[in-house]
Chains A and B, each alone.
Chain A
Amino acid sequence: MIEPTLALSAFLFLIGTFGVLVRRNAIIMFLCIELQLNAVNVAFVAFSSLWGIDGQVFVFFVMTVAAAEAAVGLAIIISIFRHYQTVDVDHFNLLKW
């Protein structure tokens, strides 16, 4: 059952990558990043059925980091929205050279 699980992980990661590259709404880009994190979690759990429980412990850490990242990232999005009145990333070109 490990190969189809890894295939699912790869597909989810690719869809997440595609979403980050194509969508312009900052919140949906952020959702796609969460999708990529979940794809990695699926791969971790699949490999933990081969090599022991350590993979599941790492999934626990990844979830914690994802929660922290969601809190900070959404705060950044709120702060950007206050400044520009939009979450379209095409408008945020302050750091562009």
Chain B
Amino acid sequence: MEAFLFYFFFAMAMGGAIGVVVSKSPVGSLLFMVTALFAISGEFVLLEAHFLAAVQIIVYAGAIMVLFLFVIMLLNLGHEYQQDLKVGVFSVAWIAVVSVMAGLVGLSLRGQAGFPGQPSGAQEIQTALELYGAVGAIARPLYTTYVVPFEITGILLLVAIVGALVLAKRNVG
């Protein structure tokens, strides 16, 4: 059952991702992206990352994608149905580059049965989940080991808010 769900979400994520690239209208592209994000959230659940699955749905599918949709509708881009894929010599070159990259990734993945180090993370995560729950398991390292990056992330968000306001305003000053 788990393997079936894994490959179901695998296919859903791949289909959504391909739909993002080939869809003609920006709104269709966005809806395919939401599909892919839901599938990735399902993969997170199967990998025992329950909090991240919830955040993926709420923040990515709920907030970021809605922001994209607002911008598409604000700019009135939904009616551009002409194909904007860039065709020509360069697209052939890009396909070749991407294929070579895919081949290299496949080559490096093939033949690596195990990973070095101590693969004890699964038990560690299981005990953390049982002790602190799905949120506490990720909140404890976030507020102890990674507290400085966490604060810096807060400053980054503040800067992003101010920057977005300044950029999107019609006349500044």
Give the B-binding residues of A (Cβ under 8 A). 1-8, 10-12, 14-19, 21-25, 27-28, 30-32, 34-35, 38, 41-42, 45-46, 48-54, 56-57, 59-61, 63-72, 74-79, 81-82, 87-88, 90
Contact = CB atoms under 8 A, between A and B. Distances in A.
Contact of B20 (A3, A10, A32, A60): A32
Nearest to A17: B98
Interface of B: 6-7, 10, 13-14, 17-18, 20-21, 26, 29-30, 33, 36-37, 40, 43-44, 46-49, 51-52, 55-56, 59-60, 63-64, 67-68, 71-72, 74-75, 77, 80, 84-86, 91, 94-95, 97-98, 101-102, 105-106, 109, 112, 115, 117, 119-122, 124-125, 128, 137-138, 141-142, 145-146, 149-150, 153, 156-157, 159-161, 163-165, 167-168, 170
B106 to A, nearest CB: 8
A80 to B, nearest CB: 10
Nearest to B166: A75
| Chief secondary structure at chain A's binding surface | helix
A77 B109 CA distance: 37
B75 A78 contact: yes
Contact of A79 (B14, B161, B168): B168
B47 A45 contact: yes
A12 B17 contact: yes
A67 B43 CA distance: 21
Q: Which of B49, B138, B145 has the most CB of A within 10 A?
A: B49
Nearest to B7: A4
